[in-house]
Structure 1
Amino acid sequence: MTVPVADDWRPRLSPGLVLRHDRARETDVLLMPERIVVLHGQASTVLELCDGTRTVPDIVAVLAARFPRAPVGDDVGVFLERTRKEGWTR
């Protein structure tokens, strides 16, 4: 299922959130005030590209080049819309 996201949206992490690698958990996490989100799969790879300079199609293009067999065109839009609803990106 694809989720329509604006082609001109340039997602970036919301203020106060930090993307880090947690050595104790051996995984990437998203640090928030009073909360830690453990990231799975390529979630941190997508979030690293959310720097406010790339549009969603730009992010999809970068990921499609890195992972040619993955359905990034469908998955990235769904994931980014969820991050926006959760308040992780804006």
Structure 2
Amino acid sequence: MTPDSVFKLAKLFRLQWEPAQKAHVLLYPEGMVKLNDSAGEIMTRIDGVKTVAEIVADLEQKFETTGLLEDVTGFMEVADGQGWIRRQGD
């Protein structure tokens, strides 16, 4: 994964806000994954268009901080490993 990588949600998953859970969730045929606030913020930006660097910049601007690249890529590597997201073009 590089800052120029672009990811999209995997086909079997749907991301949505779940009021009952008060959280973003990933829905899939066998169930649901409840995301914490940070994961939800990252996942809502994974759209098949934005690069990892653009997602990081969006989050750093929203939360008025810097140095999020390692945290964001760490989560995205886990999400990729779980099959929740796929690199664009795969």
Report the TM-score, using the length of structure 1 for normalisation.
0.85
- Kindly provide the CA deviation profile for residues 21-60 of structure 1, in whole angstroms up to 9, marking residues without a partner as x: 1122222211011120001122111111100101111111
Q: Does 1:24 align with 2:39?
A: no
More strand as a share of residues: 2
Structure 1's consecutive aligned runs of 4 or more residues displaced over 6 angstroms after TM superposition are none
Aligned with 1:66 (options 43, 62, 66) = 62
Root-mean-square deviation over aligned CA pairs? 1.4
In structure 2, the residue matched to 1:46 is 42
Report SS of the residue matched to 1:82: helix
Gaps of 5+ in 1: none
Aligned with 1:36 (options 21, 32, 37) = 32
Percentage of pairs with the same residue: 33
CA distance in 2, matches of 1:63, 1:25: 23
Gaps of 5+ in 2: none
